[in-house]
Structure 1
Amino acid sequence: MAKMVHPESNVPLDRTDRRLVELLQKDGRMPNATLAREVGVAESTCLVRVRSLRERGVIRGIHADIDPAMVGRPVQAMIAVRFGGHRRSHFEQFREEVPRLPGVLSAYHVSGATDYFVHVACESADALRDFVLDHLTNRPGVLHAETALIFDMLKGEGNLTEPLD
């Protein structure tokens, strides 16, 4: 198995670190005592290891998985945004402001004809249209926005500590 290395810390993840990541990926709220028992280390060692994984940026956070429809945002879409001119200031402003907009679940800076994909959840089709017009197409540098409705989402269950075959 190849050693995984965090690019910023250059500290390889050993078998214990990989197992902790695997367990926390499945259940981010697993108690430290249970983690320690599953991995086969002392609770104090487990606590130090998990803290180190957080500090090194391996574990970026623990989040609740909220169903947008259950909180009044049943319409989801992926919006492809293309810039014209590719001025750095336009990209920086977009990167800074768009993730903070209400309803934005994620934004991806990608290669190819599209510059960003923005995943949003809205109250209705009208609210989605207004979001695109009010918050994306009128931004400096944005040339085009194309909206694709999301009918179903399949959440990946892949283990990030296992190698791709």
Structure 2
Amino acid sequence: MDANGAGTGPARGPAPKNLRAVVDPVDRAILRVLAEDARTTNQSLAQQVGIAASTCLLRVRALRESGAIRGFHADVDPAALGLELQAMIAVRLAAHARGSMGPFVARIRRQPEVVDVYFVAGANDYLLHVAVPGTSDLRDFVAEHLSRDPDVALTETSLIFEHTRAVGRL
């Protein structure tokens, strides 16, 4: 359990389709504070949003159960793990693979190089954020896990020179 009375894993169950209906202004304030620092204690969180600590704990639990809070994590610099090269890889699935989107995501998200998977609109279907030790590892990842996949029609790789997390966007 963390200081907010919740585990550190992802939330259980599917998120509701309309989170706005279950998130009021106090919940939004809680989410903003936790997005800035998920290690904030329940007491500090309650003070920052102007509610009792017991109420805050109940609200955080409800936000986890609703799927509004998907989990708590440490924002680790991949370079600290020896993963010096990051890239965004746009992936377009073949027309015959439109029914295989779920299995594709299930396969690709298990790869240790994959940091995040984004389902996107536009010419491509997915953006993969990957982190690897170097260029040969990136080449191997693309060749082994994307180019050889019969469901993948096209990939386009963009190197990430620097990543800075935005602050105060919630």
Distance in structure 2 (CA, Å) of the matches to 1:104 and 1:97? 11
For 1:133, the equivalent position in structure 2 comes to 143
**What does residue range 1-165 of structure 1 map to in structure 2 within 5 Å?**
7-8=17-18, 11-160=21-170
Distance in structure 2 (CA, Å) of the matches to 1:18 and 1:118? 29
**CA offsets 1:111-146 (integer angstroms, 9 cap, x no match):** 222121111000110000000001111112211212
1:53 aligned partner, one-letter code: L
For 1:3, the equivalent position in structure 2 comes to none
Distance in structure 2 (CA, Å) of the matches to 1:127 and 1:21? 37
* Preserved CA contact (<8 Å) 1:75 1:125: yes
* Preserved CA contact (<8 Å) 2:32 2:168: no
> TM-score, normalised on structure 2?
0.84
Distance in structure 2 (CA, Å) of the matches to 1:14 and 1:141? 42
Distance in structure 2 (CA, Å) of the matches to 1:40 and 1:158? 19
Q: How many residues align?
A: 155
> TM-score, normalised on structure 1?
0.86
Structure 1 segments of 4 or more deviating over 6 A?
none
Which deviates further from its counterpart, 13-22 or 99-108? Answer: 13-22
Runs of 5+ in structure 2 lacking a partner? 1-15
**CA offsets 1:86-112 (integer angstroms, 9 cap, x no match):** 433432221111111011011112222
CA shift at 1:14, angstroms? 2.2
Alignment partner of 2:79: what SS?
A: helix
Runs of 5+ in structure 1 lacking a partner? 1-5, 161-165
CA RMSD of aligned residues (A): 1.7
Percent identity of the aligned residues? Answer: 46
Higher-Rg structure is 1
CA shift at 1:15, angstroms? 2.4
Distance in structure 1 (CA, Å) of the matches to 2:112 and 2:22? 38
